Structure 1
Amino acid sequence: MRAAYLLAGAALAVSSAWAVAQDAPESLLPKMFQEPAPTPSPTRTAAPRPAAPAGPAADAARPAAVATPVVQALPGEGAAADHAAGEGGEGGFSLKRVPTLEELAEMSPDEFADLLGSNVVFDMPPQARRSMERAGLLGESEGGLPADSLARQNARLIELALSENKGRLVSRWGHILLRRMLVSRLVPPEGMSPQDFLALRVALLLRMGETDAARAVLQDMDIADYTPAVGSVALGVYEKTADFTGLCPVMATQGSLQDGTEWNLAKAICEAFRGNSAVALSKLDREMARGKTPKVDLLLAQKYAGAAGKARRAVTIEWDNVSTMTPWRYGLAIGVGIEPPARLMDAAGPGYSYVTALAPMVGLERRAAAADRAGAAGVLSNAAMVDLYSQIYSDPGVTGDWQERAESLRDAYTLEDPQARFAAMKALWDSAGGPSERYAREVLTAAAAARMPAGEDLADDAPALIASMLSAGFDANAMRWAPVVPSGGQSWGLLALAAPGRTSPVETGSLDKFIDEDGSAGKRRAAFLVAGLAGLDRLGADEVERYSNDMSLGLVEGTRWTRAIDTAAQRGDSASVVLLAGFGMQGSNWSRMTPRYLFHIVSALRQVGFEGEARMIAAEAVARV
């Protein structure tokens, strides 16, 4: 009974304070910038109002320009009988029956919040709400896929294709095409909610390292429409963009979507950035005392939250006992300007390099090192990499190897002698740490390679120049080398795949020469060339069967996956073809790809209108062996 009286008293106090607040204009300043509110007087008495005459004559006598003030009724005024009956009068408040302690214990969080009046009400006019049915970044007119591409597909199959893709593709061009599909404004499959469809797409974008694209797709849905599934990927988005304050609007209105440790720590961080630093740090201290959360996670959260207001403290981050890196730790670390130990980053995997390459708060040298992975994967374009190196070139604080590489890139564009420009490009390629990093440098130099004049003096070096051009899609520039390069060589093979609009089959004599001269292990480069030409319909049916049998490629043999992608191509289902192609191209490098899978991917993409992407994927396979 005592608890019931206390709760009733609290309800009266909250209601009275709310009523008083209605008489003053609401301040739009953050709490940390507001002046302390004056202490309210113990009692407040409403000024007596003169009785107003009634009737039409009184209405006519009232001046039109004088507005009648609307005053919030005080407790006990006017609607006393209604209050006593338990129902609030118009403009007043409702004093509900106080629940018992047993009833309080059985209440859900939402019911308890409703009792206290703390539930957030989304008050947005319908015309301002965004449709959930086509959430995304690219419309069809902007290069995206048609909106209804997946609307009539099996929801369970689409869910599997999205959720089971680990996000790491062997092909740069396959990555780019899959990203384009995922950011398109698409209607969800029948039987799948828009929120689940968006959550699956955003989660795959995050696994691919496409943090900026993931955030853009996520933010195309109103926070009022979030579900727990969307809340889960929202945490991942803002972790990987090191933007924990971006979560604060979600926490303010949909804070009950999740109840995990990191979610609740993010709540405390947002509390600090709302001006309650002391309260936020106190919550983090209590969590530290409980001892259930890794110490480094809490220390990083304290450091991030402590930057919000006056309640700052010295926080030392100790990595000695930390054995693994997590998105939470890395996002907080780079958000407060800390570089984690190299031993943790070396074992963390390429996904963290993609985050680093896109993070504006990280130093240029670290971003350039990460760009060698991000560029090869397709996360960074040629233009983005050139822009990064231009910043390095113009920054006097960057010295040593990275400054020299930036100067080499500038020389590759600006020197007058073509041989000197090629030497600058070759210096960039040769300084790479491995095959993947070298391919990223070829992406970096693609536009410079496209400016090179086609000549006999550089014919021996043409394969590297052509591969560099094709890495960024400069196929027309690459075809200028067709009269120069010898038939049957590696350059010939790349151009046979990359040639736009070719309808005639290639000469089998030149293909036989390519196969004979191929020095790759198991003639893998030749196998990819045959598979690519067959997929592009640049070999006759008899030749496809003959080369497949002679080289044991098994191009015409089927699996469940090949039958699925072939069927999707036959019915013109471009979105399903892209999803299945991305599923089939999973792997850390091209050694994970088979000629048979390459044949079916290239063939299916060509049939549904992605002929350009099909050519680039086939050429990439040959170039990266």
Structure 2
Amino acid sequence: MSTPVVQALPDQAADADEQPASSGGQDVLKRVPSLQELAKMTPEDFEALFGSQVVFDMPPQARRSMERAGLLDQSEGGLAADSLAGQSAQLVDLVLSGNKGTLVSRWGHILMRRALLSRLQAPQGMTPQDFLALRVGLLLRMGETDAARALLQDVDIADYTPAVGNVALGVYEKTADFTGLCPIMATQGSLRDDSHWETAKTICEAFRGNSRAALSQLDRDVSRGSMPKIDLLLAQKYAGAAGKTRRAVTIEWDNVDALTPWRYGLAIGVGVEPPKRLVDTAGSEYSYVTALAPMVGLERRATAADRAGASGVLSNAAMVDLYAQIYSDAEVSGDWQERAESLRNAYTLSDSEARLSAMQSLWDGAGDASARYGRQVLTAAAAARMPASEDLADEAAPLIASMLSAGYDANAVRWSSVVPAGSQSWGMLVLAAPGRTNPVSTSSLDTFIDADESADKRKSSFLVAGLAGLERLGPSEFERYSNDMSLGLGADTRWTRAIDSAAERGDSASVVLLAGFGMQGTNWHRMTPRYLYHIVSALRRVGFEAEARMIAAEAVARA
């Protein structure tokens, strides 16, 4: 039996003033489309046909203000809302957009995240949307994908601008949550017009119930070569998960020479593991994405957690929770199960030396210095439970570094009475000890410097810079050590003048942003003692004394 076709009605020739009034604000249909035409229509076509395009009808009292977008109120540990209100918009733009997101300090990273998530007013001369986009963009570059998404979603979609749209795609790429873009596409789909945005829009059509048309569109895109083939094949596989339209999509990586956030996000979103050759050369940002991705296997997440923990993306508690999942998962065996058992032994064994041995096995099994520090973050709470014993004084340095990596300064200070003066353990403790007001012993400091075997005596240089920034060196000692070690702590640059000026004004937010700008680098060899001195000093003067102590101690531990 042939399918009946509904014939189009003839156009009405009546004048506009003779047309009946539309009901409920909708236009009256002048023409009924055929079934063939209906089958080819997209959801947007239907909305246009029936006059039902999505509009922003949220009542004013229910809309969120853009004036103080953020997650942390001052009462919750965030910065004061007006911290940057009087700051130069140009300077704020510079320190946010110019920060590549890779910081040498774990504690600097944590402090930056706290500042970026605070409920802040935009500086005068910058729109709230541009300010939000700069903050979200920097969080993404720092590897803080979940925090970036939370900050983005604190703003109503009705307030999005192209600047916000530019970072929105990055947020949902790096969280492997492309359906999170769909509410944006439904109401603000014209924010961008590049190929990745349009393909994401097509994916959303599939998840809105029009998977057949979406997959047909992606087929046409493949034929036209509008994007690299791997990008479109992954989009097809993701879109194919919607609706009843099933299709086998083969993902081949042979001709792919690099990962991108788009490729990696789609791949892990559909359960595809990219080749090891691509992952190994992809950079640390993909480790952070992997460590935070709940759909990735436990072993891959644990491998990535070493770098994520060292950078500050993962906390000690988050890493311990990950290892607890590994320990309780019967399907995980081999090295990772052994590491999970070692962590459990570090907490539960009755003998202190056996617990230390379990921690050492975790530290020594790390691949490089960064991963080793990540393992010290993992064991921080276990290290804090160790009794301060003279029998373990020679092994105290990594224990103290582990404790301080997660802020257990009170536990670490208990070792002050058992570690030798002038040792590395002593150096970290004189920096980390809270409430210290008296200057350090110069004889102990000289002992530390003489015994320092680090390259160019970097540990000693950072120790002197940290002590000077915390005002734990007298003025005459400051000058003497700075000159004798050629540190140039008193010399200035445009950056040092800017952060010192902000500290004098009590501008805590500017100090934090400038400190983050000055701490950029892949490791502590990229940091200078002069910059460390100004960062620690400025943070201390604006009320971040605890963070200043932890950054200074971290510098000595990781140099």
Q: TM-score, normalised by structure 2?
A: 0.93
Within the candidate set 147, 150, 153, 1:216 is matched to 150
Corresponding residue of 1:407: 341
Within the candidate set 110, 125, 148, 2:82 is matched to 148
Structure 1, unaligned stretches of length 5 or more? 1-38, 45-74, 98-109
Alpha-carbon contact 1:149-1:573 (below 8 Å) kept: yes
d(CA) in 2 for partners of 1:414, 1:435: 27
Within the candidate set 445, 464, 474, 1:511 is matched to 445
Larger radius of gyration: 1
Alpha-carbon contact 1:82-1:89 (below 8 Å) kept: no
Q: CA deviation at 1:273?
A: 0.6
Go from structure 1 to structure 2 and tell me whether the alpha carbon gap of 1:95 and 1:245 turns closer, same or farther (over 3 Å shift): closer
Q: CA deviation at 1:156?
A: 1.1
Whether 1:189 aligns to 2:133 is no
> Counterpart amino acid of 1:572?
G
Whether 1:273 aligns to 2:193 is no
d(CA) in 1 for partners of 2:403, 2:466: 18
Q: CA deviation at 1:594?
A: 0.3
Corresponding residue of 1:239: 173
Q: Matches of residues 55-454 of structure 1 in structure 2 within 5 Å? A: 83-85=16-18, 88=21, 117=51, 119-454=53-388
Q: CA deviation at 1:86?
A: 6.3
Q: CA deviation at 1:81?
A: 9.0
Corresponding residue of 2:40: none
Corresponding residue of 2:35: none
> Counterpart amino acid of 2:284?
P
Q: TM-score, normalised by structure 1?
A: 0.84
Please give the per-residue CA displacement for 1:53-81, whole angstroms capped at 9, x wherever unaligned.
Answer: xxxxxxxxxxxxxxxxxxxxxx99xxx99
d(CA) in 2 for partners of 1:85, 1:235: 47
Question: What secondary structure sits across from 2:417 in the alignment?
Answer: coil
d(CA) in 1 for partners of 2:411, 2:494: 39
d(CA) in 1 for partners of 2:418, 2:497: 41
Corresponding residue of 1:577: 511
d(CA) in 2 for partners of 1:43, 1:586: 66
- Measured on the aligned residues, the alpha-carbon RMSD in Å equals 2.3
Q: Matches of residues 448-527 of structure 1 in structure 2 within 5 Å? A: 448-527=382-461
Corresponding residue of 2:500: 566
Within the candidate set 451, 473, 476, 1:539 is matched to 473
Please give the per-residue CA displacement for 1:243-301, whole angstroms capped at 9, x wherever unaligned.
Answer: 11111111111111111111111111111111111000000001011023111001000
Question: What secondary structure sits across from 1:482 in the alignment?
Answer: helix
Alpha-carbon contact 1:83-1:94 (below 8 Å) kept: no
Corresponding residue of 1:530: 464
d(CA) in 1 for partners of 2:507, 2:8: 72
Q: CA deviation at 1:492?
A: 0.7
Stretches of 4+ moved more than 2 A in 1? Answer: 39-44, 80-97, 113-120
Corresponding residue of 1:48: none
Alpha-carbon contact 1:408-1:425 (below 8 Å) kept: yes
d(CA) in 2 for partners of 1:243, 1:137: 21
d(CA) in 1 for partners of 2:474, 2:23: 83
Alpha-carbon contact 1:82-1:88 (below 8 Å) kept: no
Structure 2, unaligned stretches of length 5 or more? 31-43
> Counterpart amino acid of 2:279?
M
Question: What secondary structure sits across from 1:526 in the alignment?
Answer: helix
Same amino acid, percent of matched pairs: 76
d(CA) in 2 for partners of 1:617, 1:292: 47
Question: What secondary structure sits across from 1:586 in the alignment?
Answer: coil
**Count of paired positions:** 541
Alpha-carbon contact 1:86-1:95 (below 8 Å) kept: no
Q: CA deviation at 1:91?
A: 5.3
Question: What secondary structure sits across from 2:531 in the alignment?
Answer: helix
> Counterpart amino acid of 2:519?
M
Question: What secondary structure sits across from 1:552 in the alignment?
Answer: coil
d(CA) in 2 for partners of 1:463, 1:93: 73
Whether 1:597 aligns to 2:502 is no
d(CA) in 2 for partners of 1:124, 1:327: 33
Q: CA deviation at 1:120?
A: 3.0
Please give the per-residue CA displacement for 1:430-473, whole angstroms capped at 9, x wherever unaligned.
Answer: 00111101000000000000000001110000111100000000
Alpha-carbon contact 1:242-1:335 (below 8 Å) kept: yes
